[in-house]
Amino acid sequence: MYKLRVMDSKIKRLFILGVISPIFILIILEFVRHRIHGLMPSPFVESALIVLIFSISSAIFAYFIFHEVKKLYAKISLHERHQKMLLKTGDIQKIRESLGEYIREVVTNASKYLCADYGEILINEDGKIKVYYYGIDVNNCSVKKIPTLQGIKGKILRTGRSIRVSDRTDDPDSVELPEGHPPIGPILGVPIFSEDKRVIAHILLARHPGSKPFTQEDEETLTILAREIAYNLERFKIYREIMELSALRERDRIAKELHDGLAQTLAYINVKAAAINEHLKKGNFEVISGCLDELREAIKDAYAEIRRAIFDLKIVDIPDSDLKTYIEKFVHEFGINNNIKIHTKLDGINGLNLPVSSQVHLIRIIQEGLNNIEKHAEATKVWVVFENENGKRVLKIIDNGKGFDPKNYARLNGKLHFGIQTMKERAIGMGGTLTIKSSPGVGTEIILELPGVKIENEVTMVTHGQNQSSPR
């Protein structure tokens, strides 16, 4: 932004100069004409002198304007090159999916934009060194071994200064290349700093021997890219911390649910087992039969609770793939595990630019909705649908189960039920709203209205068979 303001200021100065300079030149010419009038041997000589002065002044002025415009054009072109490169390296989704793939793409793009034959990014974080290459076959070159940090790359990391040489051998710190490494000539390398000004990485580009050396503009471009890499590395670090914190919170929630659900069920089983033992001592075999039936149901509930807990733990972490694929995968797995046919229609959901925490909330709302269906609805079919409804982005979870009265959701099947309240709290946490449409005998529809976020692609309306609002 600073450079754009500087260029804009220069353009304004050129404009003012272009208006004032011709007037100033005319004033000078008129002054000269007045001073030499009558001194020249003839009017022809006087006019020729005026024309000569005007031509020289115009040529000087034109050259100055051309030179300044050329410099501005070069700076604008350089700025455009920076912008294109930064756009290629600023994809946070790629950083989330894989830091390694992001770094590989960065070194590839930098090498191509700056016409380098080889590229390398070395990251030294918490004592762990990783190197990513472009243009070098690591299978036929010993660079795949752990670097010694000697030579030019080590110098960059040690000094925190950029290096630009027309030939590798011109640098006094240059060392022999590893076995199998292709020969290199011009080199350009810049350090990458952390927020506390520590050198945590470097990016190094090289060309074939005899190639054109890197320029000052190339170094400026690579320096800007290095700052962007540092910024994205910091974003990845924060993202990773958020993932770990979210995972810890989800594990804590699952632990509480196990305590409130499974622990109580096991306590009930223990009480029933003790009662059966007492009835055995008294010979009440008819009562024992009923107790065993109750015990069998409790064990069945405990088994289902354990399976749900295992499934919950499997998807504690934030998605490592795109949101649509991740949801489809765990929804499909849930359907198989619980013998429920689940239909998904999630086209366009990847266009939601949801923050990390909101992605977790969205996944957990779907998960809790499916758990409630499995526990209480006795449904055979479920629809998980993302659609554009009256200009709003809406996620729906619909089942063909037995339904219930939403006004009295605190208790279902005689048991305390907190799942719906948890879903509503999660919806509020992501800035959305959650409503439930249901009545006994006609199934349930959970409607999550997502917050106002940017959608990259419009989503067509989705119908559900006979009735758009309910497929049952």
Cα 144 from chain centre = 28
**Backbone φ/ψ region at 7: left (φ over 0), alpha (ψ -120 to 50), beta:** alpha
Cα 157 from chain centre = 28
Is 225 found in the same domain as 301?
no
pLDDT recorded at residue 27: 77
Using alpha carbons, select from 189, 198, 203 the residue that is nearest to residue 234.
Answer: 198
- The number of folded domains in the chain is 4
Is 325 found in the same domain as 310?
no
Strands (E), 264-374: 341-345
pLDDT recorded at residue 157: 81
Is 28 found in the same domain as 122?
no
pLDDT mean by block of 10 residues, the chain; 472 residues: 55 69 74 69 72 77 75 64 56 59 83 89 74 82 66 83 89 81 90 86 91 90 86 78 70 70 79 85 81 83 72 57 83 88 88 76 87 87 88 90 77 53 83 90 91 41 32 36
Q: Which domain holds residue 294?
A: 261-314
How many angstroms separate the Cα of 117 from the Cα of each of 70, 107, 222? 29, 11, 15
Question: Could you tell me the CATH number of the domain that includes residue 333?
Answer: 3.30.565.10
Q: Which helix (H) or strand (E) holds 49?
A: helix 43-89
Using alpha carbons, select from 218, 232, 277 the residue that is nearest to residue 105.
Answer: 232
Give the sign of the dihedral formed by CA 134, CA 137, CA 139, CA 145: negative
- SS3 of residue 472 by DSSP: coil
Q: Which helix (H) or strand (E) holds 447?
A: strand 444-449
Is 301 found in the same domain as 351?
no
Question: Could you tell me the CATH number of the domain that includes residue 184?
Answer: 3.30.450.40
**Backbone φ/ψ region at 403: left (φ over 0), alpha (ψ -120 to 50), beta:** left
pLDDT recorded at residue 187: 93
